[in-house]
Structure 1
């Protein structure tokens, strides 16, 4: 289909982009890599009066270290995230999950910030930044503010970003030394995950000292499997991991759609959590 008519601007700085968004509310949409917004426009599921193309803002790209934190610009493409040596060393879970996103063509255009701001619970990366305890930095007319990932995803396709704010960077505590794995189930290659599990595991003296488990497509927003995380503390063998994984779906509200029933998604969450944690812990 042909998108509806809209005005278009292409700022070259964050300040210019924020100025363009200011005062327009939901009438304006931000275009980053375009992998999420363009399909909505073509299908006429979005009707912006203005599209703000931030693709020329160079300051929003790249990866750097700040002490114990990895800072990733919101416009950094999936391809660049996947290949960056700092990400691979200090946030291996993000690199592993990014490798499963769509296909090479999408990964060369799509951006980390665009994926997170889209806030699709079926997307792979929101659950990953939840498990990584990331913080997301937004800039608007009132300045910058930092939002923990656990508060950033509000509802289906809704984030904590205000209409006049731009996501500018993602801050991730370094997790080198942790085991990690991203496990997802999908019907065909490159399709959305029916369920996905992002697992981070820190071991001490042969047992799991701490585990973080992010869930993809188990509700209207990405979730942490908190009951399973608590049960995994102290697990020292595959049997204990399997028992803890049995609570992975507790507190979730998976949807029913043409791909799966809520009951099937809950089953997948338990099975995939067991697999992901065993692999992350080196017990698989």
Structure 2
């Protein structure tokens, strides 16, 4: 299939882009890498009247460090962050996650913020942002606001993005000294969306376990420090608390079993990395 007809704008400034989104209302959409939106256009699952291409806007193409935070602009491609020289030191969880995101070809076109905006509940970048306790900066024609990642994702491919707004940047906390990070994923094939993915952080405050692919959005759970005898009961409680579902890829029972096995491995690895 081919997309329904639409108008296309490639603005020279962020202000021009925001004005177009404001005027276009619910019929206007931002396009950046296009790895999620273009297939939806071709299948006519999305029928915007206006597409606003933001990839010429240099102000959105930056990775910036400010104190304990890494800000990634809306025009930064996934491959650019993946090859950023400070990634392994400042964002070790993302360094572990990137090889699992699609393929080299899709990462060279897709943007970090585009994956956050698409909000697929099985996607790795939303899971990472939630697990790390990150933030999303939203920008409209007349206002800016900043939303916690865990509040930004509100359901299956649904977010807190309001009409006329776009994601300007996402913000990841820098790795803290003495913290451990780990990631595990199972999919039908490498590069597919996860059937279940788990990300973990271990630090002096305890443990955080993020889970994707089971509920209608990435979920994160905070746990106290655990010894080996406590992992199984804690993760079993988490597995049963999730809204696991049967679909073409896996049963709800299989997903819960993956949460138990991957969750245990991920938390233990994060704890070992901290030691």
Q: Which range, TM-score by smaller chain?
A: over 0.9
Q: Secondary structure at the match of 2:52?
A: strand
Q: Secondary structure at the match of 1:282?
A: helix
- Which residue does 1:160 correspond to in 2? 160
> What are the Cα deviations for residues 236-264 of structure 1, in whole angstroms up to 9, with x where unaligned?
3x333333222232421122210111221
Aligned pair 1:235/2:226, yes or no?
A: yes
Deviating more after overlay: 145-154 vs 85-94? 85-94
* Offset of residue 60 of structure 1: 0.9
Whether contact under 8 Å (2:100, 2:190) holds in the other structure is no
Q: Hey, which bits of structure 1, 4+ residues long, moved more than 3 A? A: none
Q: Secondary structure at the match of 1:193?
A: coil
Alignment of 1:155-194 (within 5 A): 155-177=155-177, 178-194=179-195
The separation in 1 between residues aligned to 2:245 and 2:225, in whole angstroms, is 32
Aligned pair 1:245/2:235, yes or no?
A: yes
- Which residue does 1:273 correspond to in 2? 263
The separation in 2 between residues aligned to 1:172 and 1:163, in whole angstroms, is 25
Q: Secondary structure at the match of 2:238?
A: coil
> What are the Cα deviations for residues 106-126 of structure 1, in whole angstroms up to 9, with x where unaligned?
011011100000111011111
* Offset of residue 175 of structure 1: 1.8
Aligned pair 1:127/2:127, yes or no?
A: yes
The separation in 1 between residues aligned to 2:172 and 2:184, in whole angstroms, is 20
CA RMSD of superposed structures (Å): 1.7
The separation in 2 between residues aligned to 1:160 and 1:198, in whole angstroms, is 23
Alignment of 1:97-116 (within 5 A): 97-116=97-116
Whether contact under 8 Å (1:127, 1:223) holds in the other structure is yes
The separation in 1 between residues aligned to 2:219 and 2:235, in whole angstroms, is 15
- Which residue does 1:29 correspond to in 2? 29
* Offset of residue 234 of structure 1: 2.5
Q: Secondary structure at the match of 2:56?
A: coil
- Gaps of at least 5 residues in structure 1 are 204-208
* Offset of residue 129 of structure 1: 0.4
> What are the Cα deviations for residues 53-95 of structure 1, in whole angstroms up to 9, with x where unaligned?
1111111112111112111112211111111133321221122
- Which residue does 2:200 correspond to in 1? 199
- Which residue does 2:55 correspond to in 1? 55
Q: Secondary structure at the match of 1:23?
A: helix
The separation in 2 between residues aligned to 1:16 and 1:263, in whole angstroms, is 49
> What are the Cα deviations for residues 167-222 of structure 1, in whole angstroms up to 9, with x where unaligned?
0111222223321111111111211100101111115xxxxx41111111121111
Q: Secondary structure at the match of 1:147?
A: strand
* Offset of residue 163 of structure 1: 2.2
* Offset of residue 103 of structure 1: 0.5
Aligned length: 273
The separation in 2 between residues aligned to 1:94 and 1:248, in whole angstroms, is 23
The separation in 2 between residues aligned to 1:117 and 1:155, in whole angstroms, is 12
- Which residue does 2:5 correspond to in 1? 5
TM-score of the two chains, using structure 2 as the length reference: 0.94
Aligned pair 1:217/2:213, yes or no?
A: yes
Q: Secondary structure at the match of 2:23?
A: coil
The separation in 1 between residues aligned to 2:87 and 2:140, in whole angstroms, is 27
The separation in 1 between residues aligned to 2:233 and 2:245, in whole angstroms, is 24
- Gaps of at least 5 residues in structure 2 are none
The separation in 2 between residues aligned to 1:164 and 1:140, in whole angstroms, is 6
Q: Secondary structure at the match of 1:280?
A: helix
